[in-house]
A = this chain, B = another copy of it.
Amino acid sequence: MTAPARVAITGAAGNIGYALAFRIAAGDMLGPDQPVILHLLEIPPALGALSGVTMELNDCAFPLLHGIVGTADTGEGFDGVDYALLVGAKPRGKGMERGDLIADNGKIFGPQGKAINDNASPDIRVLVVGNPANTNCLIAASSAPKLDRRQFTAMTRLDHNRAISQLAEKTSAHSTEIARMTIWGNHSATQYPDISNCTIEGAAAADRVDDGWYRETFIPKVQKRGAEIIGARGASSAASAASAAIDHVRTWVHGTPDGDWTSMGVAADGGYGIEEGIVFSRPVTCADGDYTVVPDLDISDFSRERMNATEAELREERAAVEDLL
């Protein structure tokens, strides 16, 4: 038997965690031949609910599930972990300033980064889902000096998938016919969903839609899709966020298809003129369990302006947590 992979989920009794754990145990993330041991982390008040999630996971008799660790202790929670999905975060309270939100989350993701540094597998791959995801990822990576920054990524795959879905609907294409979608920047309303390199069945997507629709409808729709879901469901995106997290890790591990790429929030390395160090979503190809930023794309003036706006927001977020880095 293949040795089980240890997969940690924080906020595991929350709505996204609940949608994630069962799909990972079913093999959707790491494949049908990879046994898993789930490490489910929660804050102490949620340990009762977490025990219910653990019971339900056991009740599924998943062939691939070889154990469950349920804990509020980050040392135990990240011990020997190969993949960490950092989902739990402090949500924005009523009247809360954005700066305070970022600082409060820093107090969660800093210690988690340190616990990962001290306890996890040296080859761990980390995906930050909890918002503000990019800056939480920056904080976690900064708190893990033994690890490479490339091991820490932030999720923009949900935005990427939403953008594909919107373009597919508009052009009556199937999502599988669309390639080279790109999300640049922050997982927030400043993100820039860019179709300038996008293809539909191999032909340029930009030729299939008019510029007005792209700028006035498509971009804001993707940027604000989270709020639209809340309006309809009365609850925030859970299953689609979980699905995107599964896609992100599966692609990272198993690779992007030939001729296509995906979007991941990764530490900027100076490429595309993006300030070094901030976690900025960019187009990447994945192979052999690693990612490579797609090089040498032409950036139009329109794109540059949008990239600058989301970069400015990420710089501000970083400034708000400077003392934690």
Contacts and interface: CB of A to CB of B under 8 A. Distances in A.
A53 B235 CA distance: 10
A323 interface: no
A57 B229 CA distance: 11
A168 B61 contact: yes
A28 interface: yes
Interface stretch (A88-96, A145-153, A157-165): A157-165
A52 B19 contact: no
Contacts of A272: none
A63 B178 CA distance: 11
A225 to B, nearest CB: 7
A31 B259 CA distance: 26
A175 B235 CA distance: 35
Contacts of A225: 55, 59
A275 to B, nearest CB: 30
12 contacts: A22-B239, A23-B23, A49-B233, A52-B229, A52-B231, A57-B240, A59-B162, A60-B244, A61-B164, A61-B165, A61-B168, A62-B175
Given A23-B23, A52-B235, 14 more contacts: A18-B238, A18-B239, A19-B22, A48-B232, A49-B232, A49-B234, A51-B232, A52-B229, A52-B231, A52-B233, A55-B228, A58-B169, A59-B225, A60-B243
A60 B240 CA distance: 6
B165 A59 contact: yes
Interface in A130-176: 158, 161-162, 164-165, 168-169, 174-176
Contact of A52 (B13, B23, B176, B232): B232
A125 to B, nearest CB: 21
Nearest to A162: B59
Interface residues of A, number: 49
Interface in A229-267: 229, 231-235, 237-240, 242-244
- Count chain B CB atoms within 10 A of each CB in A53, A57, A228, A232 and give the residue with the most: A232
B243 A58 contact: no
Contacts of A61: 161, 164-165, 168, 175
Interface string A93-104: 000000000000
By DSSP majority rule, is chain A's interface helix, strand, loop, or mixed?
helix
A305 interface: no
Interface of A: 13, 18-19, 21-23, 26, 28, 48-49, 51-53, 55-63, 65-66, 158, 161-162, 164-165, 168-169, 174-176, 225, 228-229, 231-235, 237-240, 242-244
Nearest to A222: B59
A23 B237 CA distance: 16
Contact of A229 (B55, B63, B235): B55
Contacts of A26: 23, 28, 243
Contacts of A21: 239
A14 to B, nearest CB: 12
Nearest to A176: B63
B175 A56 contact: no
Nearest to A25: B243
